């Protein structure tokens, strides 16, 4: 298997997260994710012995998990997040088959080796253990991405990556299967947050530790004329009638189970007891035939 591409400066990302936690991390997206997690887990009619929260920046998932599990371990990626231990999502300090439930909210988008992390999570689950998590998806911050690229090209004659390449919904589904999860499910929702101007959005991103941590980033920051041009483009293209600006966040949810013999298996081809044509109330057309023949 080929080595994963190194996209993010992980040390820089963790340093920024640590400063964000110390400075008052804005919790609006995490609070929404914790609420959705509670709804999703409410559909699972069982209790778990040991649960782990892996990398969620704030302890907002803890009350949800304590309602479903007898014991809870919380691992953060930076000090200051009220966690039991500080660890690395790419090198999880978990023994094989030590968990019954693993959760991660809005943290996995920052790892370089997402397939490897998912494999580690699956190995840490006991048979029939559940993983459920969410990460920032590919449609996130599309408005900011476009305006920054265009403004920088106009003002400096070139552009460098400023927004991370977030995961695509279809890719995440295949990664769950590659990691060995059974019954994988992936879906997404778009959350729209409105701001008075582009600079309010940038302040929130910095306060969450979401500054540019790409390996391929320029060492110099954005020039003032570039920022002003980007702000003008953003206001021109993405303002609502009341003048406030839209910012898109796509939240991709993923879940899967550690394989177990009790789980539902797909039927073998040709083993169906009823015909689809009968269920739909239409004539059956055999292979090679055309309607009307």
| Predicted confidence (pLDDT) per residue in 217-265, tens digit | 776 778 999 999 999 999 999 999 999 999 999 999 999 999 988 877 6
| Predicted confidence (pLDDT) per residue in 60-77, tens digit | 999 999 999 999 999 999
Strand locations in 32-68, DSSP E? 48-54
Cα-trace Rg, the chain = 23
| Predicted confidence (pLDDT) per residue in 98-123, tens digit | 999 999 999 999 999 999 999 999 99
Strand locations in 77-181, DSSP E? 85-86, 99-105, 125-136
CA 85 from chain centre, in angstroms, equals 22
Enumerate domains of the chain plus CATH numbers.
Answer: 10-141+162-194+250-280 (3.40.50.150)
What's the token pair of residue 82? 């009220």
141 class by beta-carbon count within 10 Å (0-12 exposed, 13-18 middle, 19+ buried): buried
pTM of the model: 0.86
| Predicted confidence (pLDDT) per residue in 188-220, tens digit | 999 999 999 999 999 999 999 998 888 877 767
């Amino acid at each position: 298997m080929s080595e994963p591409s190194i996209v993010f400066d992980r040390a820089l990302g963790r340093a920024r997260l640590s400063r964000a936690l110390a400075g008052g991390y804005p919790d609006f997206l995490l609070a929404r994710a914790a609420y959705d997690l509670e709804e999703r887990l409410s559909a699972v009619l069982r209790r778990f012995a040991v649960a782990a929260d892996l990398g969620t920046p704030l302890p907002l998932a803890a009350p949800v998990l304590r309602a479903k599990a007898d014991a809870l371990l919380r691992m953060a990626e930076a000090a200051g997040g009220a966690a039991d231990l500080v660890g690395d999502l790419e090198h999880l300090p978990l023994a094989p088959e030590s968990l019954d439930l693993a959760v991660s909210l809005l943290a996995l988008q920052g790892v370089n080796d997402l397939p490897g992390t998912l494999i580690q999570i699956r190995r840490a689950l006991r048979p029939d253990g559940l993983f459920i998590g969410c990460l920032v998806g590919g449609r996130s911050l599309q408005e900011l991405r476009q305006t920054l690229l265009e403004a920088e090209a106009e003002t400096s004659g070139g552009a460098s990556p400023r927004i991370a390449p977030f995961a695509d919904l279809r890719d995440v589904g295949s990664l769950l299967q590659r990691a060995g999860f059974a019954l994988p499910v992936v879906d997404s929702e778009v959350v729209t947050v409105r701001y008075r101007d582009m600079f309010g959005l940038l302040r929130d991103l910095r306060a969450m530790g979401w500054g540019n941590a790409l390996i391929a980033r320029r060492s110099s920051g954005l020039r003032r004329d570039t920022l002003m041009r980007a702000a003008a483009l953003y206001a021109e293209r993405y303002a609502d009638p009341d003048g406030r600006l839209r910012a898109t966040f796509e939240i991709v949810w993923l879940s899967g189970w550690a394989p177990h013999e009790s789980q539902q298996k797909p039927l073998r081809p040709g083993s169906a007891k009823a015909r689809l044509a009968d269920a739909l109330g239409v004539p059956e057309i055999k292979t090679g035939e055309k309607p009307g023949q």
